[in-house]
Structure 1
Amino acid sequence: MPAPMLQALPGSTLRAVLLLVVALVVLRLGWMSDDAYISFRSVWNLVHGYGLTWNTDERVQAFTHPLWLFLIAAAHALTDEMYLTAMAVSVACSLLAVWVVLRRLTDSNAAAVAFVALLLGSQALLDFTTSGLENPLSFLLVALFCAQWLNHPAGHRPLFGLMLTGCGLALNRLDLALMVAPALAIELWQQRSRRALGLAVIALLPLLAWELFSLLFYGFPFPNTYYAKLNTGIPKAEYLGQGVVYLLDVATRDPGTMAILVLALLAPFAPGASRARLPLALGLLAYLAYVVNAGGDFMQGRFVSVPAFLAAILLSSDSGDARWADQDRVWLAVAAVLLLSATRLIPFEAADPPIRPNGVADERRYYFAQTGLVYHQRYRQVPFNHAWGMTGKRMRGAPSQSVQVFNAIGFSGFAAGPDIHIVDQHALSDAFLARLPSTRPWRIGHFVRELPPGYLDSVASGRNQLVDPAQRALYDDLQKVIRGPLLAPGRLAAIWRLNTRPAIGSESAAR
């Protein structure tokens, strides 16, 4: 469409049509992941009076996104249903994020069209507009942060609002704070004063309160998944290599997303670009470096979906820079992204296996037949229409606090109900196994632990029957922390020991 004709259209009408297009795509791709149901088990426990637990007889944080969990819990408390409730919240957050960008960050019609075109060119971004994971709320928080950052001049931005939004992003997933940390540091420096520092501290109080609660309630400042996935005894070089492989997988399987990320990193250096884009680009780069350092993820595109949303804003927004979206280079960038995205439609190799040799999988395609919104059936609801969900459902007849060993704990754990104690060999929900070294070979995000002699008997009986002395000491401290009364004598000392001594076997990770 010629630029003059595009600009002549009523802005509100065009943006409504663009939002409708995005909504139709999001609904068509709507799905739920197995990992989401790991958190949903904690949601169900919280709403039904079992507290912030996963196994109801112990305190272990098996979720990484407190803010998302509380949002889903509030919605679930109203509906007493999980699948459609989480789907509705996900769709609402994703569409609200798009609407914030269209209304507050695109002054011209050209910029609005460019933004939506970039969104539709990213498979990673579209895949995680649903899934049950925290990404939709992260999209919304990033949009709100950018609206405050790009719509005000340096030194006069709403520091409290920026800090509060950044705090929400960290509460939604702690590592996402890296994306806004450079911008927040710069603005705090530019407005440096006692008042500015006081506002920053007040805005960060929710995050500080959660960390204090986490330390006192669970015994640890970070989610159990952090220890399960990063304290494995695996050398750092192997994580770094896998992290590079993860980004290469994005580049080859989802080239549109990689194009958006690369172009966004270059955007601050384009002629005429405002300096406001540079801190956000630095945050984007810092987060991608973190992804490489952590080894990436097993879900194709998950860890680059939120960066891709930020990148799309950096490339298309003309807020405060009316020339930006009308310049030829932006339209060429959009055309390049869409062209690269179209290459996904070319069958240049054999059918994609469920899990690739590099450990990465297209999770949406893997689960879509059972959990896709377009396939939802009232009488065969997720997760009970999946084999893992049926396995968990069969466990409901076992005696109360029966101990079962599962490897895929999302659908199965949710379906099993609160009376079953599940031992997860990947250690995502098991505080003891998370502090043991992983076996080999390993797959990113799936670090299997061998069950030590006496461990299952210890869990079932409540008495320490482990053989290894180091494991016995670890188990004793953990029982005080995750099972004992919060104010029990010796519990704080046990928390200190657990957070200051290295995990068993972790010394090999430094090699």
Structure 2
Amino acid sequence: MTHNARLSLRVSMLVAGVFALAGGWAQRWMSDDGLIVLRTVRNILAGHGPVFNAGERVEANTSTLWQYLIALVGWITGARLESVALWLSLLLTAAACVLATWAAGRYWGQTVLPFGVIIYLALPPARDFATSGLEWGLSLFWFGLWWALLVRWAQPPRTHAPAPVGYWLAVWSGLSWLVRPELALYGGVTGLLLLAATPRAWWKILLVALPIPAAYQVFRMGYYGLVTPHTAVAKSASDSAWGEGMAYLWDFAGTYALWLIAAAALAVGAIAARTRAARTGARAITAEAVLPRDEVSRGTAIVALALGCGFLHVLYVLRVGGDFMHGRMLLLPLFALLLPVMAVPLTKRITAVCLAVFVWATVVVARGHAFEPLPPDSKAQLGVVDERGFWVWATTGQLGSRGRAPLYAEDFLSWRLMSNYHEAIAQAQRSGAAQIHLVQVAADPAAPGAYEWLPRPRTPEASDLNVQPLTLYLVNLGMTSMNAGLDVRVLDTVGLATPLAARMPRLPDARIGHDKLLPPEWQIADTGVDVAALPEPADRIKIMQARAALRTPEIRELLATSREPLSWSRFISNIKFSLTAGRHLSLDDDPAAYLDESTLSRINAGEDVGLVGPRVAWPRDL
């Protein structure tokens, strides 16, 4: 590279880093889903293991490496976990943008200006999820370093290189599965490319790429009893929902006219590719060398790899129905698709297109993305929403993407659903209650104090269910769990941390990511609640049916995979379960379907037969 090319690349990297840091910091926040990650981190640091509730081995987080990275930095620094997650995500996002811009500039090998990175950072969801407590920063960093390693691998070999870059690329590709499961697409195809390019070294590539992900996979199957993170089971990631996926794509692409920007990016990429091919060919003739032919083929291969995997990633997102958060699940494939043009050659035609895109980016940043709340009395459910905008509104009442967003767990206590939350937990623990539950106590759901948490007493009868600590359920799992002690069992109704809920049938026309529901009778049954003390509206018969159904072999084994104390026997049984019933088990939401006529008759006569029987709950060390 010439002096001017190096200077332009440094300036482009500086622009990418500054824009990423400034944009992410301006939109800094903590999401409810981000707090879910931190609950697991709290349990890791407390010595309970990588679990959401002590004594229940449930992998409630999609990204394995993200939770351990937060735990490591939190342990070293002693800082608040919310702050650790925010700064890690923000710095990793900035590093990803800088790395990707640097690699693109090195790929083109001439004077460049930032392009794709400006497109990405202009989008409000990209800046929102530069923080949020979720693993998007780590995922982007994986992409940035992956692209940088690919570009280095595609260049002619240098004898002074300390180690073959292909092996480092293999190691990094192997970690893809632990960053996010769908990134295994990129890592796996990269592995195939490396094997095809160096067939004689196939065993060395596999030797460095597979041990870490393979070891964790064995651990996951034996510890959790699943092949995938529990979130994949809860969200039925193997099912298809193309219609919802297309609506999700348009909600993102249509809002910002991304179809027009995609056309511009393709045009710029095509012009830059022709320019690079001409320069490389001229260099080959001048140097009378053979090496550039291999350089051209590898350079073409890595661009095809990024674009092909990015396109397949988009198809996967569409297939599973997208997401309930505006733009979130499309950010990663978009970043991958933009990698070759994060920085682009400075030519007249390209500069003209870039200027037009910069105008678009300015308009998008200035407009932002507003959240429109549903009326309090609306019976409609939220669809795809601006998640940050929602939590700004929910916790402060403000509208607009630039409102003050929650940063810490206690900031969520101002939401109406968290009224008297701390007081209810303290009262329930003093009285030895088995559960607290949320009820609406005012006609207007938007009124302050419209909701209240109330205790449910524990049964006086002997039962292994009485070893369960104080339990509560709410779909918003993060704010409830991070505002409660680790001695409180916090569960959700859609299945992220609740195996019973995750195996319930999908609800038709429900919100993506929230289309499972654990009925109230199952929620109460899996606790030590005294059914006889419940008020009259409660369906006591159904609750006792569900409690008896917990003892049946199919459900009992499901519960044992996460609750039975871990031993080698349980570890092996969990591996078997993960490869058999764990892959496809689905529960009937009607507990009567699991019981014979004799048991149903006893329950109808008022006998709570499910209080005793084969163990489904074990004491936990808190």
TM-score (norm. length: structure 1): 0.83
Distance 1:378 1:252, change over 3 A: closer
Distance 1:100 1:438, change over 3 A: same
Return the offset for 1:186. 1.7
The corresponding residue for 1:149 is: 150
1:331 aligns with 2:351: yes
The corresponding residue for 1:352 is: 372
SS in structure 1 opposite 2:527? helix
2:9/2:102 contact within 8 Å kept: no
1:160 maps to a residue whose letter is Y
Match of 1:362 among 386, 390, 393: 386
The corresponding residue for 2:244 is: 242
- Mapping of residues 31-180 of structure 1, within 5 Å: 31-77=29-75, 78-107=77-106, 111-153=112-154, 158-180=165-187
The corresponding residue for 1:415 is: 483
The corresponding residue for 2:594 is: none
1:500 aligns with 2:580: yes
TM-score (norm. length: structure 2): 0.69
1:432 aligns with 2:500: yes
Aligned mates of 2:45, 2:410 — CA distance in 1 = 20
Return the offset for 1:316. 3.3
Return the offset for 1:325. 1.6
Distance 1:259 1:460, change over 3 A: farther
The corresponding residue for 1:206 is: 212
Distance 1:11 1:331, change over 3 A: closer
Distance 1:14 1:35, change over 3 A: closer
Higher relative contact order (CA 8 A, sep 6+): 1
1:255 maps to a residue whose letter is A
Return the offset for 1:340. 4.6
1:253/1:344 contact within 8 Å kept: no
Return the offset for 1:377. 9.2
- Mapping of residues 367-406 of structure 1, within 5 Å: 367-368=391-392, 370=395, 375=404, 381-387=410-416, 393-397=422-426, 398-399=428-429, 401-406=469-474
Match of 1:287 among 313, 323, 329: 313
Aligned mates of 2:249, 2:196 — CA distance in 1 = 33
Distance 1:37 1:394, change over 3 A: farther
SS in structure 1 opposite 2:32? coil
Return the offset for 1:283. 0.7
1:310 aligns with 2:336: yes
Return the offset for 1:206. 1.3
2:59/2:224 contact within 8 Å kept: yes
Aligned mates of 1:182, 1:266 — CA distance in 2 = 26
2:245/2:322 contact within 8 Å kept: yes
SS in structure 2 opposite 1:105? helix
Return the offset for 1:141. 1.2
CA RMSD of aligned residues (A): 3.8
Return the offset for 1:422. 2.4
Return the offset for 1:154. 7.0
Distance 1:154 1:505, change over 3 A: farther
SS in structure 1 opposite 2:491? strand
The corresponding residue for 1:473 is: 553
Return the offset for 1:284. 0.5
Q: Can you give the 5+ residue segments of structure 2 that lack an aligned partner in the other structure?
A: 158-163, 277-298, 433-468, 531-542, 589-622
Aligned mates of 2:484, 2:549 — CA distance in 1 = 33
Q: Which moved more, 1:6-15 or 1:324-333?
A: 6-15
Return the offset for 1:34. 0.8
2:303 maps to a residue whose letter is R
SS in structure 2 opposite 1:221? coil
The corresponding residue for 1:320 is: none
Alpha-carbon deviations, 1:173-194, whole Å to 9, x = none?
A: 011222343333222211112x
Aligned mates of 1:446, 1:432 — CA distance in 2 = 14
2:341 maps to a residue whose letter is L
- Mapping of residues 209-288 of structure 1, within 5 Å: 209-230=215-236, 236=240, 239-256=241-258, 259=260, 272=274, 274-275=299-300, 276-288=302-314
Distance 1:101 1:160, change over 3 A: same
2:496 maps to a residue whose letter is L
Q: Which moved more, 1:324-333 or 1:368-377?
A: 368-377
Q: Which moved more, 1:75-84 or 1:384-393?
A: 384-393
Distance 1:470 1:351, change over 3 A: closer
Return the offset for 1:402. 0.9
> Which of structures 1 and 2 has the bigger CA Rg?
2
